[in-house]
Chain A
Amino acid sequence: MNVSGVWRGAGALLALSVLMTSCVQRREVGLERVRKAGELRWGADAQGGEPYAMEDPDVPGRMRGFEVELADALARELGVRARFVQNDWSSLIPSLERGSFDVALNGIEITPARSGRILFTRPYFIFQLRLMARRDDDTVTGLASLRGRRVGTLANSQAWDLLQREGIHAVPYEGVEEPYIDLEQGRVDAVLMDDLIAQRYGQPRAVLRVVGDVGEGYYAIAVRPGDEDLRAALDVALGHIARSGELRQIFARWNIDSAAQQRMVEWSDAQTREVLAQTQTPHLGWAQWVMFLQAALVTLVVSVLAMALAVPLGVGLALARLFGPRWLGRLASVYVELFRGTPVLLQLYVLYYGLAGVLRLDALSAAVLGLGLNYAAYEAEVYRAGVLAVPRGQMEAALALGMSTPLALRRVVFPQAFRVALPSATNDFIALLKDSSLVSVISVVELTKRMTITAVDVRGWLLPGALCAALYLAMSYPLALLARRLEARLERG
């Protein structure tokens, strides 16, 4: 593809995205749609776990949690049934916008960025932002003591915004347990999360301590713009179950009730308006461009280092399979099948969290190691195929001249195998460049993660998405060109 081809491709992509966006906006209006369907589809992430919404360990497929009971109660008030829709927590809002479900109800905090983007009902729960640190680290005394240090939290949460404002290095996580594991391991200096999460996942850990609560916020139900009547109906329903005492009974059943929750019972519409009045008009500023470039650099560094590990390891594995003693060849085959046959995502999890007790790696090293070990399996097969593709006669001719087997391999077989393997190896490297986005699960902010964070911040996916794609292309295309030139040079022989 030449340069103009690239732009044509990008144009087509843009047109497709616009088309998809406009399709989503054609839909029936809120409450009527819910009543007609006879069900209130609510989006949440079962991975969020207790006490929000999670799969019932005793009855697989059934959900439990205080938000499950809340959804049931609200649906009953609306005269319909509640239906749970699984969705990754970090993309609940975009999924809501594109109509995957009617409401998002999953510990979603009212933040200025969000309230500028979607509708919120009145709050249903008050939470505290709880700061935790290691027991043996007494340097953490509050937010002020953490300036410039690493603090883990969920991306795009209220805690995330607070940390950014305070000039603290916020490390984004996708799950609620992982930040506390990393705090134990010393990979972050503190964790700032909602008290509900801290109680369940942080406080039971003996080596951690509560530094204090540094702010409060509200959970509310997110509704699509345009569904104002649905929001009004949900506000009425919430008010009703709050006043009847049912809301606090639900909280009590899940041990999250406190005197503070009485404010939910006495909540007024005026208070809702006041809370929602704080909206932010987000935009893609210079700071974000710079962060994109930094994230692209992380992607590039992770990919290059991982490949630098995968190539020699792959060569070793291929040699073991081709020329090694039987037991070593077997071992190499097992390695290849194990790493090729299981998801790299799983391998990253095991390496970073699973082995955290034995192998204390920082996130970047774990990312490089995980991707490198995984790609070595693919490289081994590519190189092996390359060696097998060299005709037997070449080896024989070299031996007939008095060369030793290693010399014949080095001077005659491998150079020709390299030529065969180069296109596949290039292909793998480009694939690795993109697969490196998986390392965001172990809290590395690379290009794709930066794109999702920014997209949520600025309320749009199109521009950050296009920017992200352009940066990936800017990295992979020169690589493809370089490989093509090298192939052409080798072609002559």
Chain B
Amino acid sequence: MIEVKDLCKRYDGRAVLDGINASFAPGEVVALVGPSGGGKSTLLRCLNGLEPFDSGSIRVGDDVLEPGALRARGTQVSNIRRRVGFVFQQWHLFAHRTALGNITEAPRYVRGLDAKAAMALGRALLEKVGLSHREGAYPSELSGGEQQRVAIARALAMEPEALLLDEPTSALDPERVGELVELLSRLRDDGLALVTVTHEMRFARELCSRMLVLHGGRILEEGTPAQVLERPRHERTRAFLGLERVVRQEAPGGLEPGTTAVATVFPAATARE
């Protein structure tokens, strides 16, 4: 269980996060959506201790992360990071290690497993993400989808309670999105809390149980994808989703699952916030 209380972060005098309250429970998948610059990615990075914040708190189980410089919060930060996995938009696999090596690194040197146990764990996770046959491949030899799966397996190797994914569909071929949905559903069923930033409404609707619309550093609206997408309460949400509908109408034959048409309307949407 992740609980976020009154989370505020200012950057250059501008409020990036402005009083966020939210909780993420095991077995649920939450989508963070909203226009670029709304604070989605920053919130995600705060949840893993990659980004410091100015006030409020983040609680994961019995570990609490308080405001202030990350350096000063060393133990808090590393405890939170062990309990919350992060999958980067560009995956950031360790370029000098094989697929298996990427996964065994943290169990071996952070959790303190011996080499044999780490290897066994790594192989089991590779099997879970369907990449057993690629364990000796280096990141440069893997496709984007394969790299993402290794990155997910790498995060799972720390046995986290939650997994954070930053725009997981943005660098995937459309036909691969279905496989990702399938994999993440299984992780949800295993009891992980999943939080994903996305611009892909179709992906969010298929996978997520809850949707948070962030705008100007605040949660504008919250609900099931059906509620938010069909009956948005807020004018700004409507405007944001309205553009989404335009795309839907313009696209011949409607949207196939996992198309990235939104990106054509929001050129900035694929860029990092």
- Which residues does A use to contact B, with CB under 8 Å? 391, 393-394, 396-404, 407, 411-412, 415-416, 419, 490, 492-493
Contacts and interface: CB of A to CB of B under 8 A. Distances in A.
Most chain B CB neighbours (cut-off 10 Å) among A400, A411, A490, A492: A400
Contact of A493 (B74, B109, B138): B138
Given A402-B158, A404-B78, 16 more contacts: A393-B88, A397-B86, A397-B91, A400-B48, A400-B50, A400-B86, A401-B155, A402-B81, A403-B110, A407-B110, A411-B109, A412-B94, A412-B105, A415-B96, A416-B95, A492-B138
26 contacts: A394-B94, A394-B95, A396-B50, A396-B88, A396-B92, A397-B88, A397-B92, A397-B93, A397-B94, A399-B50, A400-B81, A400-B86, A401-B105, A401-B106, A401-B158, A402-B110, A403-B110, A411-B105, A412-B94, A412-B96, A416-B94, A416-B95, A419-B96, A493-B138, A493-B139, A493-B140
A493 B158 contact: no
Contact of B96 (A396, A397, A416): A416
User: DSSP majority for the A interface?
Assistant: helix
Interface of B: 48, 50, 74, 78, 81-82, 85-86, 88, 90-97, 105-106, 109-110, 138-140, 154-155, 158
A397 B105 CA distance: 11
Contacts of A415: 96
Nearest to A418: B96
Nearest to B93: A397
A400 B49 CA distance: 8
B140 to A, nearest CB: 8
Contacts of A402: 78, 81-82, 106, 110, 158
Nearest to A390: B95
A493 B96 contact: yes
Contacts of A398: 94, 105
Contacts of B93: 397
Contacts of A400: 48, 50, 81, 85-86, 88, 155
A386 to B, nearest CB: 12
Contacts of A401: 81, 85, 105-106, 110, 154-155, 158
A-B pairs with lowest CB-CB distance, top 10: A397-B92, A393-B92, A401-B106, A400-B86, A402-B82, A402-B81, A493-B96, A402-B110, A493-B138, A415-B96
A38 B151 CA distance: 84
Contacts of B96: 412, 415-416, 419, 490, 493
Contacts of A407: 109-110
A54 to B, nearest CB: 60
Most buried by B among A393, A398, A402, A492: A402
Given A401-B81, A404-B78, A493-B138, A394 B92 contact: yes
A490 B97 CA distance: 10
A401 B105 CA distance: 9
Contacts of B94: 394, 397-398, 412, 416
B168 to A, nearest CB: 15
Contacts of A416: 94-96
A403 B92 contact: no
Nearest to B105: A411
Contact of B81 (A391, A393, A399, A412): A399
